[in-house]
Amino acid sequence: MADYDAIVVGAGLSGSTAAYCMAKAGLSVLVVERGDAAGTKNVTGGRLYAHSLEKIIPGFADEAPVERKVVRERISMVTDESCFTADFSSSRFQNPASASYTVLRAEFDPWLAGKAEEAGCDVVCPAVADELLRENGKITGIKAGDDELTAEVVLLADGVNSLLAQKAGLKKELSPHHVAVGAKEVVELSSGIINDRFNLNEGEGLAQLFAGSPSRGMVGGGFLYTNKTSLCVGLVVTVAHMAKSPDRLPDMLESFRQSAALKPLLEGGKIIEYSAHLVPEGGIHMIPTLSADNVLVLGDAAGFCLNLGFTVRGMDYAIGSGALAAETVIEAKQKGDFSNAVLCGYQTRLENSFVMQDMRTHKNAPDFIEHTPRMFKEYPELVENIFADMFTVSGPSKLMLKKALPYVRKAGLLNLMLDGFKGSRAL
């Protein structure tokens, strides 16, 4: 008999969610996590859309260590000289089912892994799953150091660079076109200063995205999220572009931090943390084989992450896919059949859920973004020029249209229309 019903590799959001749901249903579950504790190896920008976890643990935000509820959204178009910002706040963001929260993974992941442990899972960290165990070709567990641990099914929740999914033959080596690289810093500031500076009430948060010069015109963008007593600031840039560029990501982050758009917002803050990580952004084009006999792939390992130009979203998909993987394993346990005949139900469940539906909805996004560099350079410049003229008086005035037209021509009216049309169908 196997040591466990299920072994989960990785105590990120996908792994811990799956483990929690399976243990709740009475399955015996082992979670192994490479980091010294859950959350130590994980990087995120900062915003968790609550809907998927809300279904699993209703009202989770009351007990979980979330930072702030996002009630204010900003998008900035930045050039070396100017910054155009749209600011949107709404009481609509208050609804728990559609709310979003800023989170710090070093706090949030241990909480979720703790929930899994409370539900009865064995959670072991630090422990690296080095290999999959096989008997007569069938996956029977994992090898971690000198230890062999067996299970009916192994859930690979080991993140974007899932070596085990590659070893299992479910996934190919990552393509530079399917991943971005992100770097971020946590900047400490008092909650009072954050509230004043970003016009927030206690517990309320802001999310700000930056397009243009932060990514030096490459596909990508900058972000800022407010936590209780810190800010997360960072950059995400596509690896394929980064590789061709002379710029180094840490230097780009440094200039972003020093830029006129960001510097005043960070004034007086102290950098307390730096981290960097890969981001899957190939969407549906990078999704591996999701299930096979005795194995499932979830979260970032399965490529369930969307990059819609300036913003990355993966945490709610990680949670969603974790829950569906758990449902599938629970069914397999009931039927006593962990072969792909039952486990392939995971794919059907995903197809019927927001996870795969979103991947399909945005299937053209990676291609559109990669082939529309104008979004990251020419358009921020266009906005800059129009607004700079609108608010500059140095002689006789001109009509709006006359002011704008030359700049629109420069960016290309046809480009604008086409990109606008294609973009609104892809993003």
Partner 1 sequence: MKKIAVCYKWVLSDTDIRVDEKTRSLNMEKCKYQVNEYDRNGLECGVQIKKASGRELVGITLGKDTASSAKDALSRGLDSVFYLDDAALADIDKIGAAKALAGMIKKVGDVDVVICSEASSDDFAQQTGPRIAALLGWPSVSYATKVEVNGDSFTLERKLDDGIECVSVAAPLVITISPEVGEAPIPGVKDILGAKKKPANALAIGDTGLSADALKPASAIVSVLAPETSRKRQRMNPDGVSLDQAAAALVKELSQAGIL
Ligand X SMILES: Cc1cc2nc3c(=O)[nH]c(=O)nc-3n(C[C@H](O)[C@H](O)[C@H](O)COP(=O)(O)OP(=O)(O)OC[C@H]3O[C@@H](n4cnc5c(N)ncnc54)[C@H](O)[C@@H]3O)c2cc1C
Phi then psi for 30, rounded to 5 degrees? -115, 130
Of 165 and 386, CB closest to ligand X = 165
CB 350 within 8 A of CB 356: yes
Nearest to 187 by CA among 266, 263, 289: 266
Helix, strand, coil fractions of the chain, as percent rounded to 5: 40, 25, 30
Candidate list 54, 117, 158, 419; residue touching ligand X; CB under 6 A: 158
Query: Per rule CB under 6 A, is residue 380 in the interface with ligand X?
Result: no
Which stretch of DSSP H or E encloses residue 8? strand 4-9
Q: Which range binds partner 1 by CB under 8 A, 124-132, 317-325, 380-388, 406-414?
A: 124-132
CB burial readout 175-185, b (16+ within 10 A) else e:
eebbbbbbbbb
Q: Please give the Cα distance from 88 to 71 (Å, whole number).
A: 8
Query: Per rule CB under 8 A, is residue 126 in the interface with partner 1?
Result: yes
Which stretch of DSSP H or E encloses residue 207? strand 204-212
Site string for partner 1, 57-96 (x = CB under 8 A): ----------------------------------------
Q: Which range binds partner 1 by CB under 8 A, 139-147, 169-177, 318-326, 376-384?
A: 139-147
Of 13 and 382, CB closest to ligand X = 13
Query: Per rule CB under 8 A, is residue 147 in the interface with partner 1?
Result: yes
Q: Is the peptide bond between 126 and the residue preceding it cis, with omega within 30 degrees of 0? A: yes
Write out the binding residues for partner 1, residues 252-291 only, by CB under 8 A: 272
Q: Which range binds partner 1 by CB under 8 A, 119-127, 280-288, 290-298, 362-370?
A: 119-127
CB 32 within 8 A of CB 127: yes
Write out the binding residues for ligand X, residues 169-198 only, by CB under 6 A: 182, 184
Burial of residue 412, with CB atoms counted within 10 A of its CB: 0-12 exposed, 13-18 middle, 19 or more buried: middle
Candidate list 2, 43, 57, 124; residue touching partner 1; CB under 8 A: 124
Write out the binding residues for ligand X, residues 34-53 only, by CB under 6 A: 34-35, 41-48
Residue 145 contact, options ligand X, partner 1, none, Cβ 5-8 Å cut-off depending on partner type: partner 1
Q: How far is the CB of 17 from ligand X (least distance, A)?
A: 8
Query: Per rule CB under 8 A, is residue 122 in the interface with partner 1?
Result: yes
